[in-house]
Amino acid sequence: MTQGAQNIPGRRTVLGAAVLGSAALGLSAGTAGTAQAAQAGGHGGHRPPRRRLPVPTIVGHRGASGYRPEHTLGSYQLALDLGAHVIEQDLVPTKDGHLVCRHENDITGTTDVADHPEFAGRRTTKSVDGVSLTGWFTEDFTLAELKTLRAKERIPQQRRNGTLYNGRWEIPTFEEVLRWADEEGRRRGEPVWLYVETKHPTYFRGIGLGLEERLAKLLRRYGRDRRDSPLFLQSFEPTSMQRMAKLVSTPRVVLFDAADTQPWDLKQAGDPRFVADLITPEGLKWIASFAQGIGPWLDLIIPKDKDGKLGEPTTLVRDAHAKDLILHPYTMRNENSFLPADFRVGTDPNAYGDAFGAFKVYFEQGIDGIFTDNPDTGLLAAADFNKD
């Protein structure tokens, strides 16, 4: 058993999935029914009482990205104000080693960098995880330079309302988010839960900007390095979570893309396994040796047929729970274009469909939580589900 995973109680108890439907669930150093109200989170000695996570847990995907430009303090604040149980950050580094919140290191589509003539010469073509990309990349900018940029809506054709907020917020550092979470936790009297992803860790380690050690240093500084800290770590690269397990005790989740894809770290190491191999009982046993949960693509739980309609559920939920792993799949969105064909309404791909119906079907599979761009919709759907 790896360092950081020793003496940890059952993973589904740890992460708030031991008793479905209870409001008294969450990171707990004991069973959900008997654990006393301990304290976690906070900074500088202040630790508000731990808020336990309900099930299904609603994770604000990149904040409330259905309404505000993603990975901005505005998006995170709205997700919190809407009631999201956990709020997600994706981390990439700057040239001078700071961790900033962007879904990708390519910031062409999420910032106004193209409007800055002083950075025109930074536009370049790179291969990131085997994919050729042309644009501007965080690792080519110092933090001071990135702070001159402003965030914008990533998919303006589908989310025209989000464009209202173009230019309003800058790119936040992860340390700024930790400070914000601490301040909000003190104000609300309960910790703000975060869900933190290491993006392209093998790529960044290869250019001398390893993520894990930098992240662990910040987690220790802000008291979120413990097994009961109000924070999840996640990555599409299993070895990144193995590395984090040696640095901190914070709970870890391995993300899964489509079954026929291969994690980049495994490919680079000559490991022949694909996602299809990792979601077998044997693969999940390996994941459980260093992580407490998985974050699968929704299609790994219920595949879609050729018409985009939901088919027969797989055994992934049952198999993961048998290994004491939680499941927080991704991503539910309200727009027709993102919903299974069964739940689309009308012909406008950008209009809202029957998101509540889709949430219900996924909740019925026994998942422990879900990522959504629309936390308010997810919370209402979870309340309906728990009421039934």
State the pLDDT confidence band at 5, using cuts at 50, 70 and 90. Answer: very low
Note the maximum CA span of the chain: 60
Alpha-helical runs (H) found in 246-371 = 264-268, 275-278, 281-287, 316-322, 355-363
Q: What is the mean pLDDT of the chain?
A: 90
State the pLDDT confidence band at 25, using cuts at 50, 70 and 90. Answer: very low
- The token pair at 101 is 């919140």
The pLDDT value given to residue 167: 98
CATH number at residue 80: 3.20.20.190
> Is 80 domain-assigned?
yes
State the pLDDT confidence band at 388, using cuts at 50, 70 and 90. Answer: confident
Mean pLDDT of 231-243: 98
Three-class secondary structure of residue 202 per DSSP: helix
Instruction: Please state the domain count of the chain.
Output: 1
> Is 141 domain-assigned?
no
Residues contacting residue 77 through CB under 8 Å, at least 6 positions apart: 63, 180
> Is 276 domain-assigned?
yes
Q: Residue 41 above 60 pLDDT?
A: no
DSSP 34: T
- The token pair at 125 is 């073509």
> Is 266 domain-assigned?
yes
Three-class secondary structure of residue 98 per DSSP: coil
> Is 111 domain-assigned?
no
Q: Which domain holds residue 63?
A: 11-98+170-387
Taking the CA atoms of 176, 178, 179 and 184 in sequence, report the sign of the dihedral they define: positive
Mean pLDDT of 27-54: 42
> Is 238 domain-assigned?
yes
> Is 35 domain-assigned?
yes
Per-residue pLDDT tens digits for 284-306: 999 999 999 999 999 999 999 99
Residue 282 class from Cβ within 10 Å (0-12 exposed, 13-18 middle, 19+ buried)?
exposed
Q: Buried b vs exposed e over 343-373: b needs ≥16 C-beta within 10 Å?
A: bbeeeeeeebbbbeebbbebbebbbbbbbbb
> Is 365 domain-assigned?
yes
Q: Residue 22 above 60 pLDDT?
A: no
Q: Residue 2 above 50 pLDDT?
A: no
